[in-house]
């Protein structure tokens, strides 16, 4: 993997992990809102881009005869993958504002393009893609374990995907529902713990992806209670924006995504110290 001079300088170093108080997530959200209103044009610009991509994907998936049954989970995967990558520009905007600069769409786009085009960011994106593929591959297999012989067709007019959704919504086949819930939660938490601070760290410190991932995992484990507050908070805000504005082109994401991106940057700065 090609390394920059700054990356070479940081090899072998570890970052100090700070523990934060229980009110930290709400402080981050407040700071995220402050950043949003301090840079509304920039925030809305990137919020619109994210929303357009998300809604376009949703429209295609939900109207597809092949993928319609899995449009909701696939949209969740897309947001999980797209979120950290697209947020790079907003991370940089928060960083520049904290330094007393006046970030513009062009400056933060350039910084994000450089960071996203780097080997570390590409490597981190590949990790998330692999996790998403693993979830999609193993979900039907888990169902098959609890329903012998139903991997391909559950009934004459029902696919395995439809059967999975039916079991989840009806509460039938509780063994599968519980196992699937645990599996999905574990995969989701792993993806979150990996991406939470690794992308901001790559942007901020130009470090290698292994250092970024390990640091992000350590920070999450050192602040487990905070993570368990932050994850559902993010989930509720994003899900709420999707559900409440599903008939209005997901316009809620235009505001929620930038606020969460700015808030994530402040979470990163409060938990991750300098490399030593």
Burial of 163 (0-12, 13-18, 19+ CB in 10 A): buried
pLDDT at 222 over 90: yes
Burial of 72 (0-12, 13-18, 19+ CB in 10 A): middle
DSSP 70-105: GHHHHHHHHHHHHHHHHTHHHHHHHHHHHTT----H
pLDDT band at 152 (very low <50, low <70, confident <90, very high): very low
* Total number of domains constituting the chain: 1
Closest CA to 199 of 136, 134, 261, 133: 261
Q: Does some domain include residue 2?
A: no
Q: Does some domain include residue 160?
A: yes
Q: Does some domain include residue 140?
A: yes
Give the pLDDT mean for 59-73. 76
Residue numbers of the domain that contains 175: 16-275
Task: Please state, in angstroms and as integers, the Cα–Cα distance from residue 29 to each residue in 35, 154, 198, 256, following that order.
Answer: 10, 45, 19, 10
Handedness of CA 33, 235, 74, 71 (dihedral sign): negative
- Say if CB 206 and CB 7 are below 8 A apart: yes
CA–CA dist 209, 123 (Å, integer): 7
**What's the whole-model pTM score?**
0.84
Q: Does some domain include residue 68?
A: yes
Give the pLDDT mean for 46-58. 91
pLDDT band at 153 (very low <50, low <70, confident <90, very high): very low
Q: Does some domain include residue 166?
A: yes
Within 10 angstroms of residue 194's Cβ, the number of other Cβ atoms is: 22
Task: Please state, in angstroms and as integers, the Cα–Cα distance from residue 100 to each residue in 46, 87, 95, 276, following that order.
Answer: 21, 20, 9, 25
pLDDT at 209 over 80: yes
CA atoms within 13 A on the CB side of 11: 8
Q: Does some domain include residue 7?
A: no
Q: Does some domain include residue 3?
A: no
Burial of 62 (0-12, 13-18, 19+ CB in 10 A): middle
Q: Does some domain include residue 181?
A: yes
pLDDT tens per residue, range 103-125: 988 888 787 777 655 567 778 88
Name the least confident of 6-20, 186-200, 257-271: 6-20
Helix or strand or coil: residue 225?
helix
- Say if CB 8 and CB 242 are below 8 A apart: no
């Amino acid at each position: 993997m090609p390394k920059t001079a700054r990356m070479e300088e940081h090899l072998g170093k570890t970052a100090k992990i700070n523990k934060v108080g229980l009110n930290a997530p709400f402080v981050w959200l407040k700071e995220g809102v402050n950043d949003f209103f301090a840079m509304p044009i920039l925030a809305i610009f990137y919020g619109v881009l994210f929303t357009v991509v998300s809604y376009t994907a949703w429209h295609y998936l939900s109207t597809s005869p092949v993928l319609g049954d899995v449009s909701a989970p696939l949209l969740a995967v897309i947001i999980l993958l797209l979120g950290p990558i697209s947020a790079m520009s907003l991370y940089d905007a928060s960083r520049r504002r904290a330094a007393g600069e006046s970030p513009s769409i062009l400056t933060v786009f350039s910084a994000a393009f450089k960071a996203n085009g780097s080997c570390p960011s590409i490597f981190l994106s590949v990790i998330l893609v692999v996790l998403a593929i693993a979830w999609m591959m193993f979900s039907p297999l888990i169902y098959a374990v609890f329903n012998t012989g139903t991997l391909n067709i559950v009934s004459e007019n029902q696919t395995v995907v439809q059967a999975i959704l039916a079991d989840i919504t009806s509460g039938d086949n509780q063994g599968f529902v519980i196992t699937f819930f645990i599996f999905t939660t574990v995969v989701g938490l792993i993806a979150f713990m990996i991406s939470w601070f690794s992308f901001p760290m790559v942007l901020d410190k130009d470090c290698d992806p292994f250092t970024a991932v390990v640091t992000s995992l350590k920070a999450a484990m050192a602040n487990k209670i905070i993570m368990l507050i932050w994850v559902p908070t993010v989930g509720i805000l994003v899900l709420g924006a999707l559900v409440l504005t599903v008939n209005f082109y997901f316009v809620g994401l235009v505001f929620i995504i930038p606020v969460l991106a700015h808030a994530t940057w402040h979470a990163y700065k409060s938990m991750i110290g300098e490399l030593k």
